[in-house]
Amino acid sequence: MANYRSPGVYVEEISLLPPSIAEVESAVPAFIGYTEKATLLVADDLINVPTPITSLADFIQYYGGPPVENAANITIGVDELKTGTVTTGFKTTIAITPANTSKNILYHAMKHFFSNGGGRCYVVSVAKFAAPTRADLERGIDLIANEDTPTMLVVPEAIYLDQAGFDGVNQKMINQAASLKDRFAIIDTLTATLPKIPNSVNTDVTTAIGNIPADGAIRRYGAVYYPHLETSYTYTFDFQALILNTHTVNGAAPGAGEDKANQTMSALKNSASLLYNAILTEYNKYHIVLPPSAAIAGVYSRVDRERGVWKAPANVGLMDVVKPRVSVSRPEHDLLNVNSDTGKSVNAILNSPGYGTVVMGARTLDGNDNEWRYVNVRRFFSVVEESIKKSTNWAIFEPNTSPTWVKVKAMIENYLYLKWRDGALAGATPEQAFFVNIGIGSTMTSVDILEGRMIVEIGMAVARPAEFIILKFEQMMQTS
């Protein structure tokens, strides 16, 4: 109380309302990889600098566009179909060698992220376009550890490392998430090719999860998605400079003056527009295959924004996807989702008739654990923990007595009540959905008070997804 010394009327405002909890952002992925440039003010000043952006336009402004492919990696041939002197059509063949195309796919991954609902994110450019290395990508992961805002880790270009490098990058991501407890690792599988042998899906997935730590306390902070996706994006060639390699007419050599081989697309556009349009149409059918992690980060962002972080990011369609690279069968899906041998789950992406390409899995890598089986449960706890942690800073060095305890308890209960009302917590009443305990004899002893510890116990019944819908039918006996 103030020390009053002279007569008069004094006003004192008494604070009765508890502080409120400001919820942290739940979907801010950090992308790590190689870019065309990394410039804010002067050249390369964003190399190895975690930088927040909010749109693909920001990415292009700071980091440039996709790499331009080498024209030697594409072969174009056309068989012109003729009846007399009239051209009736074209048989166009275009061959692109994916093994020789650029491994720098961060631009395309960012485009996929934003098209699937992504918003604010961080980018760490580890270098300008170059062959991906484990050292570069791991350095980027270390740099993002110093940023408090990111909640997801995505490294799409890790699929171009060898098995040891791929394992090392994935383990570094998930170890960082488990250590900081405020982020989640979205992991791809290494293999991008179509299966050639029976049970190859299981083989592909083993390359992704085989060396992830067996400790459930670590692997619950990450999730793996399979397979890679054929997107609607095309390779970036200097199309006008491409050359028509072979030109035949009705399968035979062209007549005198008819051969268009070795001409550029620019020349064909001016002199043979029908031929040019046939080549362009076929060229646009060749699509880039991307690992799914960036699109999944976009799905997390979209679901968090539209429903909430407590909603499982599954049974959700993917944008800008032609089809999954591998068609996962039901028996294979069973093994991916619930693997009794390894205890590690992999979320399948399926081509569902009538629905398109759909994410049909919501499990963490610790998929057989009853507590941390689901992605939304793990991420919801991380958001609540971080939000409450940051909002209780005001209580540091406050008197460790009942008035402070009441304020802290009321603050947390108000926050959790709003979560329950939104549907994040299960229970017919708030008492069934959560509890907050604090006080001497309840969560603290006299020794705790003497040593300056204020201990708060919080319990939550997080809503879990209905993963298996079971309909039971039976025949009834005729009664009339």
261-301 pLDDT, tens digit per residue, is 898 999 888 877 788 999 998 888 888 999 999 999 999 99
| pLDDT > 70 in the chain, percent | 95
What is the structure's pLDDT at 411?
94
Question: What's the CA gap between 34 and 54, in Å, rounded?
Answer: 18
Residues 6+ apart with CB under 8 A from 91: 78, 79, 81
Average pLDDT for 18-41: 93
What is the structure's pLDDT at 197?
46
Joined tokens for residue 296: 């999944």
3-class DSSP state of 459: strand
322 compared with 197, residue with greater pLDDT: 322
Residue 243 has phi, psi (to 5 degrees) of: -115, 140
Which region among 95-99, 378-382, 452-456 has the lowest average model confidence (pLDDT)? Answer: 95-99
What is the structure's pLDDT at 477?
84
pLDDT exceeds cutoff 70 at 199:
no
pTM: 0.89
Joined tokens for residue 91: 């048989």
Q: What DSSP string describes 212-243?
A: S-S-HHHHTTEEEEES-EEEEEE----GGG-B
Tens digits of per-residue pLDDT, 329-341? 888 888 888 887 7
Residue 152 binned pLDDT confidence (cut-offs 50, 70, 90): very high
Average pLDDT for 122-130: 97
Joined tokens for residue 279: 């080549």
Show contacts of 427-435: CB within 8 Å, 24+ apart: 427/461, 432/461, 433/460, 433/461, 434/458, 434/459, 434/460, 434/461, 435/459
Q: What DSSP string describes 430-458?
A: HHHHEEEEESBTTTB-HHHHHTT---EEE
Closest CA to 27 of 383, 290, 385: 383
> CA of 224: how far to CAs of 205, 220, 407, in Å?
9, 11, 41
3-class DSSP state of 201: helix
Joined tokens for residue 452: 């300056």
Handedness of CA 394, 396, 402, 406 (dihedral sign): positive
What is the structure's pLDDT at 205?
67
Average pLDDT for 202-213: 67
Contact predicate 35/126, CB 8 Å: no
Residues present in the chain in total: 480
On average, the pLDDT of the chain sits at: 89
Handedness of CA 161, 166, 168, 174 (dihedral sign): positive
pLDDT exceeds cutoff 60 at 408:
yes
Which region among 130-134, 182-186, 375-379, 473-477 has the lowest average model confidence (pLDDT)? Answer: 473-477
CATH class of 29-66+102-233+288-374: alpha beta
Handedness of CA 340, 226, 101, 127 (dihedral sign): negative
pLDDT exceeds cutoff 80 at 204:
no
Task: Decide the pairing of beta strands 74-83 and 246-249.
Answer: parallel
Residue 3 binned pLDDT confidence (cut-offs 50, 70, 90): confident
Residue 19 binned pLDDT confidence (cut-offs 50, 70, 90): confident
Q: Where in the chain is the domain with CATH 3.40.50.11780?
A: 29-66+102-233+288-374
Q: Which of 62-66, 210-214, 461-465 has the highest mean pLDDT?
A: 62-66
436 compared with 190, residue with greater pLDDT: 436
> CA of 128: how far to CAs of 38, 48, 165, 173, in Å?
7, 10, 20, 22
Residue 55 DSSP class:
S
Residue 173 binned pLDDT confidence (cut-offs 50, 70, 90): very high
Residue 458 has phi, psi (to 5 degrees) of: -130, 130
pLDDT exceeds cutoff 50 at 195:
no
What is the structure's pLDDT at 141?
97
Residue 143 binned pLDDT confidence (cut-offs 50, 70, 90): very high
What is the structure's pLDDT at 101?
87
| pLDDT > 90 in the chain, percent | 61
Question: What's the CA gap between 109 and 80, in Å, rounded?
Answer: 37
